[in-house]
Copies of this chain bind each other. A is one copy, B any other.
Amino acid sequence: MAHDHDVTGGFVQRHRETLERALAAIHQRNHWSAYPESPSPRVYGESAAADGEAAFRARLGAPWPGQTPGASGSVLSERSPYGLELGISYPRLSAIGLDELLEAAQRGMREWRDAGPQVRVAVCQEVLARLHARVFELAHAVQHTSGQAFVMAFQAGGAHALDRALEALAYGFDEMTRHPATAVWEKPGRGEPLRMAKTFTPVPRGVALVVGCNTFPTWNSWPGLFASLVCGNPVVVKPHPRAVLPLAMTVEACREVLAEAGFDADLVTLAAEADGDRLAADLAVRPEVRLVDFTGSSAFGTWLEQHATQAVVSTEKSGVNTVVIDSTSDFAGMCSNLAFSLALYTGQMCTAPQNLYVPETGIQTDEGHKSFDDVAAGIGTALHGLLGEDKRAVEVLGAVVSDDVLARLEAALPRGRVLVDSTAVAHPVWPQARVRTPLLLGLSIGDVEVYGQECFGPVSYLIATPSTADSLAAFVRTSLTAGAMTAAVHATSAEVLADARAAALDAGVALSENLTGGVFVNQSAAFSDFHGTGGNPAATASYTDAAFVASRFRIVQSRRPV
């Protein structure tokens, strides 16, 4: 079966300019975005929001229309953190269906390989275009699985996730085409030179497995998914049982475009499971599976790294993110910025700060000296300003994603001195949503058994240290033992900032300095910020750099005398 060159030629034409712009962006790492982040009708049109919501609602209470080879029966595992009845049942895959699934996944692999990088990237770009056309619908799907507030779901789950996916496509394409497809080798000698014509072909590794998470079903899954696919690998998508819909929509878009272009739709499949099936573990160690991308718990991520040794495994696991507070020239701005970072999506982000170190003697600021308790009060005031009104608060906080988060919040309470208490907020639209403001606990540097591990959710610690040097040392220590995705420092002295940068290099953590305005430590911008480093236990990979894509294909050459 040959793919439809008219169709793929059209995709190539349509997306060429965007690809070129994306390729330029990944080499410059300055600001660029292909997908507008504002859900405003001025950007997306007057009817886009209503149409998207209607499309989302039309999905509810019905079996998912897509098929998965090897599936039997169905599974209904989602539960909106906002209390909306979703009621979508998906084809259920279990261990018994894996032979059929993996056979089907590989069926179209050769044709997909032989289509080459240019066609593959255009097909993938067309998938992104289709997803972008459904971005409002996607935002509702992300909101009602992750608990993110709508605008955040639109941005982090839609526009920004599309940017990250395009970034992964650009890196994959760049990597596959950095060598010429052909070369002539001519070795001078005493007589006739030796001449060989050579062909270099990127070939896929094998089946790729993407294991999604509950909180960022698209943003965290798309880079691996599209990086693997553009490099020629079939992709099996195993969503989190409570966040299936956004990835089911993703798989649907992939299959739709693949089929239109004349490729085998089973190159991308949805492997939904019931909670507790451990399907990802069964899949990950299959010999056919040569790539695994995972976001989730450290326990399972580490298990994958240790057991799926036939595959290249990229994991993003838990971590302990640090803010070192030494001094500031904008105390109010610092407190506001920190408050937003702590509150955003109830701290349910792998990038949210947890450990805030402050010298026990206090800090110098533009408002004069501030004691440890003054700093706590400043953050408390900022949180109150941000979250004092329920209607505004829920747009920042979103909803608590699971019982586990609430249980951790309750368990944390007695572990320190309550500096800012967590309160329940009534959601004006979704009465069943559980909404909580952040808890800030006071600790001292000796309480490492508390702050030395991740407490995922709205729990953070203000930790008194003997000095900023001790704060930096604790930062490096916890990053190397418990991992870290982000770090921030507030300091007015060049020396302290230099020390912080050096500590961040030692810790292998990205550093944000003196954020007091509209940029937050928990946000990373596609095409510019590297999300994660792979240099500490929180993650083995970064979104997105060359290392993230380079091992997703191999170069096979042929050569012949000419």
Contact = CB atoms under 8 A, between A and B. Distances in A.
B180 A519 contact: no
Contacts of A557: 510-511, 529-530
A184 B530 contact: no
A546 B201 CA distance: 14
A371 interface: no
Nearest to A174: B178
Interface string A101-113: 0000000001001
Contacts of A390: none
Contact of A194 (B504, B508, B519): B519
B29 A200 contact: yes
Contacts of A535: 203, 205, 554, 556
A187 B555 contact: no
A557 B524 CA distance: 11
Interface string A168-209: 000000010011100111110100001010111101010000
B533 A554 contact: yes
A48 interface: no
A514 B556 contact: no
Contacts of A530: 200, 555, 557
B194 A518 contact: yes
Contact of A196 (B178, B505, B519, B560): B519
A555 B545 contact: yes
A560 B179 CA distance: 35
A559 interface: yes
B513 A558 contact: yes
Contacts of A185: 29-31, 525, 528-529
Nearest to A518: B194
A509 interface: yes
A297 interface: no
Nearest to A304: B309
A199 B501 contact: yes
B203 A505 contact: yes
Contact of A29 (B183, B509, B550): B183
Between A178, A528, A529, A530, the greatest number of chain B beta carbons within 10 A of the residue's beta carbon is seen for A528
Contacts of A306: 309
B29 A198 contact: yes
A178 B561 contact: no
A381 interface: no
Given A29-B183, A512-B560, A175 B505 contact: no
Given A29-B180, A512-B558, A512-B560, A198 B501 contact: no
A191 to B, nearest CB: 9
A542 interface: yes
Contacts of A508: 203, 554, 556
A551 interface: yes
Contacts of A519: 194, 196, 559, 561
A223 interface: no
Contacts of A196: 519
B555 A504 contact: no
A175 B519 CA distance: 29
Contacts of A515: 561
A516 interface: yes
A27 interface: yes
A27 B177 CA distance: 10
A516 B194 CA distance: 11
A260 interface: no
A305 B290 CA distance: 13
Interface in A448-475: none
Given A29-B180, A30-B183, A31-B185, A542 B555 contact: yes
A414 interface: no
Given A508-B203, A528-B185, A534 B560 contact: no
Given A194-B519, A550-B547, A556 B505 contact: yes
Closest 6 A/B residue pairs (Cβ): A535-B554, A513-B560, A547-B550, A511-B558, A550-B550, A29-B183
Given A185-B528, A198-B529, 18 more contacts: A30-B183, A30-B185, A110-B506, A175-B546, A178-B546, A185-B525, A187-B525, A194-B519, A200-B530, A203-B505, A504-B558, A512-B559, A517-B561, A529-B557, A542-B554, A545-B550, A547-B550, A550-B551
Interface of A: 27-31, 110, 113, 175, 178-180, 183-187, 189, 194, 196, 198-201, 203, 205, 305-306, 309, 497, 501, 504-506, 508-519, 525, 528-530, 533-535, 542, 545-547, 550-551, 554-561
13 contacts: A29-B185, A31-B186, A189-B518, A504-B558, A505-B556, A508-B556, A511-B558, A530-B555, A533-B554, A533-B555, A534-B554, A545-B550, A550-B550
